[in-house]
Chains A and B, each alone.
Chain A
Amino acid sequence: MSSPTHIPASGSFPKRSILLHWVMAALIIATLIIGLSIAHHSTIHYAGLFTLHRTLGFIILALVLLRLANSVTTKHNPSLPATMPIWAKYAAHISHGLLYGFMLALPLVGWAMLSAGGYPITLWGGCHIPPLIGYNATLWAQLRSLHSCLAYGLAFLIMGHMAAALFHGFIRRDGVLKTMLYRR
């Protein structure tokens, strides 16, 4: 697969990182789709879908924290191929940082906004989450808009991230895509 002029990315991510990446990808895309659906369609399944949205949001929050800890403690994360132009490397690092930032901020803003709105927060199975901040209706309105903006941003980041990964896989064929597909 690797062509002579391209030095492949070294190694691949450890199994646990690959597993975390794909589980979180599925959960985040599902949470985005559910969030968009309940905010823009009136449905008799609102209560169930909204509970699922909150529950997935909190699972994602826990997983992001786990993943950040994992990426800090993993010694040998594969580096980007040396043939990548410097600007592309910067773009990759910045977009990965943004992905982490948005993944972390979205559930935190969701939690904070419902707290500010005075909504009790219950998850699937009846688990009760304490408020993150105090009751403040103006802040509720602002955080509700922020939650939407962050969600739209994350949706575009994910689309860009997917296209960039596939660009590495199909056009550049530099082994970057494989580092997240399976352990070599």
Chain B
Amino acid sequence: MTHPTPQKRSILWAAVLLPSLCLGLIFAWAGGVIGGDTLTPSHFMALFHKAGAPTTGFRRAHAKGMCVTGWFEPSEAGRTLSKSGIFRGTHLPVIGRFSLAPPMPYLADNPAIARSLAFQIRSQTGDDWRLALVDVPLQPIRDLHDALAFFGSNALDPITHQPDPARTKAYADARPWLRTAFSQNAQRAVSSGLEDDSYNSLDSFYLTNHTGKKTAVRWTATPLEPFHPAGTPSEDDKNYLFKQLIRTLNQHPLSWSLTATIARAGDPINDPSQPWSPTAEKLSVGTLTFTQAYSEDEKGCGPMVFDPTILPSGITVTDDPLLALRSSIYMHSYSTRAGETKTPSMVTSHIIASPTLSTHEKGQ
């Protein structure tokens, strides 16, 4: 073998090793090992923990909840708006989950806390549609940077173990573009329970019909129950809102009309923090009916992920940045919690079986 000079040898070795090392650097950068980016899923997951999410198998947000089952009866309006097989079916099976929005799974019911409804509708032809809706009218977050700051501002005070209102105020004050969202959310009519509440998608979606016409919509599940304003929270029973829902379901089925608010020209499609024109047309695409309650510790909605980007053909995501974020973060939450050992949910099978309101359970 001809022996290259030491200088030439080192060049040759560089040619052998550098390409791999460069590729390694690209991998490391893509994998977030180098670069110091804070806008990452693991950062969001860390913020949920600071805001009170335990590591015992619960969703990192909307942790306290209960499952329901029922069906969806689509309307003619749904078929005109979207070619989805969902709207061509009848009596489609639905799995739903009512929840409180914070990341703490053992939270005492209080009407002041944002409530939510998530559900999955399946069609006989294999369509799978998941929606995750909340009862506030606007999202106090415009983009990914807002989201990071928003969840950061939910951190619990290390001494009081409560969210710090000063942080929320600082978040709001620094973002004049969220003024409408904060004021509309604060002024909303708060309902008495989970059964007479309206739930909104906030994010927008496109519907495409058989002629190829595309319509941008926001979803609202509007209760068929009459609205009652919220009373003062029960001091005796930390599950009284859920028990009230179970007791009503034991008496009669509960229905919500699934309403599409149709965007007018100029309505912001990609910004869930801004309202649409008050005159925007609203069409009911069907009725959702729930008949049975289950604890999420039983089979059903417990493990299920209600990723709002799981859509049947005929419904697609918009370029709303928060839909992209939610899809990614829900997956991280789902894969993390599904690998943990779960402690029992607060709304147990026992409570479902006997939802009597306790009257002297102070400090339960």
A-B contact pairs, 29 of them (CB 8 A): A32-B30, A37-B30, A40-B40, A40-B42, A41-B30, A42-B40, A42-B43, A42-B328, A43-B328, A44-B143, A46-B324, A46-B325, A47-B324, A119-B305, A119-B310, A126-B313, A140-B335, A140-B338, A141-B336, A141-B338, A142-B339, A155-B27, A160-B20, A162-B20, A166-B16, A170-B15, A171-B12, A171-B13, A171-B16
The answer for the CA separation of A119 and B40 in the assembled complex, in Å, is 22
Q: A47-B309, A141-B338, A144-B335 known; A33 and B30 CB under 8 Å?
A: yes
A123 within 8 A of B: no
Closest to B24 in A: A159
A93 within 8 A of B: no
Given A42-B328, A47-B327, A119-B310, 4 new contacts (CB under 8 A): A40-B42, A144-B339, A155-B27, A166-B16
Chain B residues near A163 (CB-CB < 8 A): 16-17, 19-20
**Cross-interface CB contact of A42 among B44, B305, B336, cutoff 8 Å:** B44
B334 within 8 A of A: yes
Pairwise interchain contact B23-A42, C-beta atoms closer than 8 A = no
Closest to A119 in B: B310
B321 within 8 A of A: yes
Chain B residues near A45 (CB-CB < 8 A): 324
* Nearest 6 pairs of A and B residues by beta carbon: A141-B339, A40-B32, A137-B303, A36-B30, A141-B338, A46-B324
Interface string of A1-39 (1 = CB under 8 A from B): 001111000000000000000000000010011101111
B266 within 8 A of A: no
The smallest C-beta distance from B131 to any residue of chain A, in angstroms, reads 15
Closest to A118 in B: B304
A interface, by DSSP: helix, strand, loop or mixed?
Answer: helix
Chain A residues near B335 (CB-CB < 8 A): 117, 140-141, 144-145
B211 within 8 A of A: no
Q: A163-B17, A163-B20 known; A40 and B30 CB under 8 Å?
A: yes
Q: How many residues of B contact A (CB 8 A)?
A: 50
Q: How many residues of A contact B (CB 8 A)?
A: 45
**Cross-interface CB contact of B128 among A32, A120, A158, cutoff 8 Å:** A120
Chain B residues near A137 (CB-CB < 8 A): 303-304, 334, 338
Pairwise interchain contact B27-A166, C-beta atoms closer than 8 A = no
Interface string of A39-71 (1 = CB under 8 A from B): 111111111001000000000000000000000
The smallest C-beta distance from B340 to any residue of chain A, in angstroms, reads 8
Pairwise interchain contact A47-B304, C-beta atoms closer than 8 A = no
The answer for the CA separation of A162 and B23 in the assembled complex, in Å, is 10
Pairwise interchain contact B324-A44, C-beta atoms closer than 8 A = yes
Q: A42-B328, A141-B338, A155-B27 known; A167 and B16 CB under 8 Å?
A: yes
Closest to B327 in A: A46
**Cross-interface CB contact of A44 among B26, B126, B321, cutoff 8 Å:** B321
The smallest C-beta distance from B12 to any residue of chain A, in angstroms, reads 4
The smallest C-beta distance from A53 to any residue of chain B, in angstroms, reads 12
The smallest C-beta distance from A30 to any residue of chain B, in angstroms, reads 11
Q: A119-B310, A141-B335, A155-B27 known; A44 and B319 CB under 8 Å?
A: yes
Chain A residues near B37 (CB-CB < 8 A): 40-41
The answer for the CA separation of A78 and B96 in the assembled complex, in Å, is 60
The answer for the CA separation of A169 and B12 in the assembled complex, in Å, is 9
A73 within 8 A of B: no
Q: List A residues 104-119 near B (Cβ within 8 Å).
A: 117-119
The smallest C-beta distance from A81 to any residue of chain B, in angstroms, reads 13
Chain B residues near A166 (CB-CB < 8 A): 15-17, 19-20
Interface string of B95-113 (1 = CB under 8 A from A): 0000000000000000000
B1 within 8 A of A: yes
Pairwise interchain contact B16-A43, C-beta atoms closer than 8 A = no
The answer for the CA separation of A43 and B19 in the assembled complex, in Å, is 28
Q: List B residues 272-317 near A (Cβ within 8 Å).
A: 303-305, 307, 309-310, 313, 317
Chain B residues near A43 (CB-CB < 8 A): 144, 324, 328
The answer for the CA separation of A126 and B120 in the assembled complex, in Å, is 20
B54 within 8 A of A: no
The answer for the CA separation of A4 and B3 in the assembled complex, in Å, is 12
The smallest C-beta distance from A68 to any residue of chain B, in angstroms, reads 24
Interface string of A147-162 (1 = CB under 8 A from B): 0000000010011101
B31 within 8 A of A: yes
